[in-house]
Amino acid sequence: MSPLDTEASMVRLESATADAAMARAIADSRLRPLPPQLLEELLTGSSLATVSAGAVIHHEGDTAAHFELVVSGLAKIFVTAPEGKTATVRYCRRGSLIGVVSLFSDDFSMPATVLALTDMKLLQFSPAMVRQATARDSRVAVALIRELSDRVLHFIAEIPGAAFTSVRQRVARHLLDLAGPDGPPGRLALSPHETGNQGAGNRQFAVTTSQRELAEAVGSAREVVVRILRELRESGTVRTERDRIVILEPERLIELSKWNPGC
């Protein structure tokens, strides 16, 4: 059984397509091209899970097949070294699909841990139903292939960032990842936190994270991250608050996050 069985409130979906929140999540996912009738078929046997912030959704080493859509909230996927050091490899927000690879891998074992950073709603599909729909309808197969392609490209793009970038660049990258959608910096689509007079020039983007969490995410010491945040604050790029970082100049943060092979 999934760890969510003991941590989440499960509600049987009666009319999934009528739920506005779920419809928005589907529209933000790789499932969006599927027609309503096919979606209804795919949703047979699905359930909605309410997950509390701090709950582990999947543990590293879990072997159960799973396929989930984030309806609301934010989760992170991270790996853990033998000595306990962690590194975040992906953030999952509304529209993110989790677990496609578990449906089709031989001898699957979860390579990372999935942790809810905020309260979440997860739509949990029946793995058997998804496999059947994939075998019957090429449109489902294409949607899942595109999702897997997204994940491969995302992880390949992370390799130079993990291997060659400075801690300063990784901090900038992770702040952008927390504030915006999955994908490389430059495709910035943040949710604005308006302050003062309304207008584009007054938009600020808030990230809820502690210095310790940020240090763990980028694989560095807290003291190093504190120094980098101080430099970013002094340059006017961010403003730091208790367990919150406000991005004042996202374009500058994007420039700081870029990996330049010529450097």
Residue-level pLDDT at 260: 56
Residue-level pLDDT at 16: 44
pLDDT in tens, the chain (263 residues): 454 543 433 334 444 444 889 999 999 999 999 999 999 999 999 999 999 988 999 999 999 999 999 999 888 898 888 877 777 788 899 999 999 999 999 999 999 999 998 889 999 999 999 999 999 999 999 999 999 999 999 888 777 767 778 899 989 988 887 775 433 333 333 334 433 333 334 445 788 888 998 998 888 899 999 999 999 999 999 999 888 898 888 878 878 887 654 44
Residue-level pLDDT at 146: 98
Residue-level pLDDT at 180: 52
All structural domains of the chain:
4-161 (2.60.120.10), 166-257 (1.10.10.10)
Give the Cα separation of 97 and 177 in Å (integer): 16
Residue-level pLDDT at 190: 39
Contacts 24+ apart (CB under 8 A), 130-133: 130/42, 130/67, 130/103, 131/103, 131/104, 133/38, 133/41, 133/42
Q: What is the pTM of this model?
A: 0.71
CA angle, residues 135, 152, 90, in degrees to nearest 5: 110
Residue-level pLDDT at 113: 94
